[in-house]
């Protein structure tokens, strides 16, 4: 089967998945930016934030990045389907990229605030300290999968990363716009893992 014949069905399914998740992930992104990080908000005894339309551009940018990450992960798995060990490493690496994207997006949103808004300085840390640490641990587990020797129990490392990403989502549900791509990458990586087949020793009797 040619490369394109492998890629197109996977990309079509991933696009369909992205379309299904678009609305809930967009809701999560708006809630994260407005209600948690207080992006485009000011403080005067109470928080005053832009309406939903004021977050359209930021949500579109996040949605574009999420779409690229999902499609790139799916395409990598399809292209490398005949080389499972490499496919596992690459898709685990995409999981790391999703972790970096999630934490990085929160930092960018927090750093772009107008100092005159009087938003408390500890806003980011109060929201992101725990999930960022959990996602960092998931990134370490994925990094071990990427650089591990063939005998390393990659399924274990991937399951650890999956559970940690799920835990980060539970701690901060509005981070789903970033943790869902992490979970997607880990699931794809798990699907590429193959159990090495031990060679059957040839005995003298079978040799005869």
Residue 200 belongs to some domain of the structure: no
Backbone phi and psi for residue 43, each to the nearest 5 degrees, phi listed first = -125, 125
pLDDT per residue as tens digits for the range 114-159? 666 778 888 899 999 999 999 999 999 999 999 988 788 999 999 9
Residue 202 belongs to some domain of the structure: no
Q: For the chain, how many residues are written?
A: 208
Higher pLDDT, 15 or 208: 15
Q: What is the arithmetic mean of pLDDT over 165-191?
A: 96
**Average predicted confidence (pLDDT) for the chain:** 88
Contact between 88 and 149 under an 8 Å Cβ cutoff? The reply is no
pLDDT per residue as tens digits for the range 28-43? 999 999 999 988 888 8
Residue 76 belongs to some domain of the structure: yes
Q: How confident is the model at residue 200, as a pLDDT?
A: 56
pLDDT per residue as tens digits for the range 59-78? 999 999 999 999 999 999 99
Residue 67 belongs to some domain of the structure: yes
Residue 206 belongs to some domain of the structure: no
Residue 204 belongs to some domain of the structure: no
What three-state secondary structure class fits 71?
A: helix
Contact between 125 and 103 under an 8 Å Cβ cutoff? The reply is no
Buried-exposed string 86-114: b where 16+ CB fall within 10 A, e elsewhere: ebbbbbbbbbbbbbebbbebbeebbeebe
> Which structural domain range is residue 159 located in?
3-195
Count of the separate structural domains present in the chain: 1
Buried-exposed string 118-151: b where 16+ CB fall within 10 A, e elsewhere: ebeeebbeebbeebbebbebbbebbbbbbebeee
Residue 84 belongs to some domain of the structure: yes
**Claim: this prediction has a pTM higher than 0.85:** yes
């Amino acid at each position: 089967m040619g490369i394109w014949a492998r890629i197109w069905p996977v990309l079509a399914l991933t696009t369909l998945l992205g379309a299904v998740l678009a609305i809930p992930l967009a809701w999560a992104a708006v809630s994260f930016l407005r209600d948690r990080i207080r992006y485009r908000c000011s403080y005067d005894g109470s928080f005053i934030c832009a309406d939903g339309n004021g977050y359209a551009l930021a949500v579109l940018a996040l949605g574009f990045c999420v779409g690229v990450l999902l499609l790139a992960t799916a395409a990598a798995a399809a292209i490398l389907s005949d080389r499972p060990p490499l496919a596992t490493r690459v898709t685990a690496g995409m999981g790391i990229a999703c972790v970096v994207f999630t934490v990085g997006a929160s930092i960018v949103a927090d750093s772009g605030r107008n100092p005159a808004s009087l938003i408390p300085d500890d806003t980011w840390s109060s929201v992101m300290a725990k999930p960022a640490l959990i996602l960092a641990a998931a990134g370490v587990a994925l990094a071990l999968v990427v650089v591990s020797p063939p005998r390393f129990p990659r399924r274990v490392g991937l399951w650890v990363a999956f559970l940690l990403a799920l835990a980060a989502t539970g701690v901060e549900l509005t981070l789903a716009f970033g943790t869902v791509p992490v979970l997607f990458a880990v699931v794809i990586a798990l699907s590429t893992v193959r159990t090495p087949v031990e060679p059957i020793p040839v005995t003298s009797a079978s040799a005869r």
